[in-house]
Structure 1
Amino acid sequence: MLRIGEAARQAGVSPHALRYYESLGLIRCRRSGSGYRLYDRETLERVRFIRRAAQLGFTLEEIAQILQLRDEGRAPCSQVVAWLDEKIEHLNAQIRILTGLRAELVALRSQAPAVPADPSGYSSGYCALLEGRAGPIPAAATRPSDHGRARSPSRAHPLRRRHGRQEGR
C-alpha cells in the first residue's frame, strides 16, 4: 500500500488528481489508522488507464462508464469502439475546418504585398487584410457545433490559471 505522494508519482499524476478521481468515484482508497490515503497496485493501474483514456480524448464521464462496465464484469470494448468512431469523425471535421482556415490564411498572406500599409483615404486604423476589404471572412472560422458563431480568441486557446497566474506568460 502506498501513500498518496508515492502513489501519484508511480501513476504519473498529481496527488490532487488522485483526490479528484476519488471524489468522482473513479477510484477508491483505503485509510491508514492515522487517516492517510493508501493505494494498492490495482488502483494505480486503474489510474494509469484513466490517464491514458483521457490523453486519447475520452471524457471523465465516458471513462467512468467504461470503468463501471468493467467493474460489473461486462466488456466495455463495444462502447469504446462506438466512442472511437465518434471521436474520429469529430477529428476529421476539425481537420477539414482547420484545413480551410489554413487555406484562407495562406490566401490572405499572399495578398499582403499588394495591400498598402496605409491605403489613402482609409482611416479606420485597422489592417485591411483582416477587415474584409481584402476578401471575405472564411467559412472555416466557424465550427458546425458553434451554430455559425465565430470562435472567440479566448475559446480558441484559453489561458489556464495556475496558482494565481496565467500560464504561457
Structure 2
Amino acid sequence: METMKAIAKRKSSRVFKAQQITETELTTILQAANAAPVGMGQFESVKLTVIQNKALLEKIDEAVAALFAKTGTHPTYGAPTVILVSGAELKGPMSGVPYCNAAVIIENMAVAAADLGLGSCYLMGIIAAISIDMALCAELKVPQGFVPCSAIALGYATEELTEKELTTGKLAMERIN
C-alpha cells in the first residue's frame, strides 16, 4: 500500500474483535516502531512493552476506570494487544523529549497497522493511571528512571477501515516565505 493511502485509511478504532493479531503483523508493527525518528538516535532511552495478556489488560482498564469515572469500563477498548511506550525521564527544557519520541513511534505503528488492515487507537488516558500505580508499572516492566508516555491499542477492528479524503485545511497554518 502507498504511504498516503495508509495514512488516509488510519483512524481511531474503539471496538475490536477478540481475535489476537498474528506474530507477523506484530513484527511489522514493531519494525515500524523501530524505524521512528528517536531524538538524537538514543533508542536506548525508549522501552516498548507489548501487552497481550487479557488479565493484565483488564487490570489496566480497572486502574483507569477507578481514576477517571467518565472513561467507562474498557479504556483499552477491548483490544487484544496494547503496546506501551515508556521513555527515560528527563528534567528541565528537554523533559518533553520522551513524549515526542513516543508520539512518532505511536504514529508509525498506527500507519503500519492501517497498512495491514488493522485497527488502532492512540491511548493517552491509561498513562495517568499507570504512572501513579507503581505496582502496575512494575508488572508492566517499566524500567527504573523511565516514565510511561503513551500507548496504542491494536487489533482487528469491527468497523472496516475506509480511505478518507486528505486535506490541508484542518490545522491552522501560517506560511512565512
After TM superposition, the score normalised by the length of structure 2 is 0.21
User: Which structure dedicates a bigger proportion of its chain to strand?
Assistant: 2
User: Which structure dedicates a bigger proportion of its chain to helix?
Assistant: 1
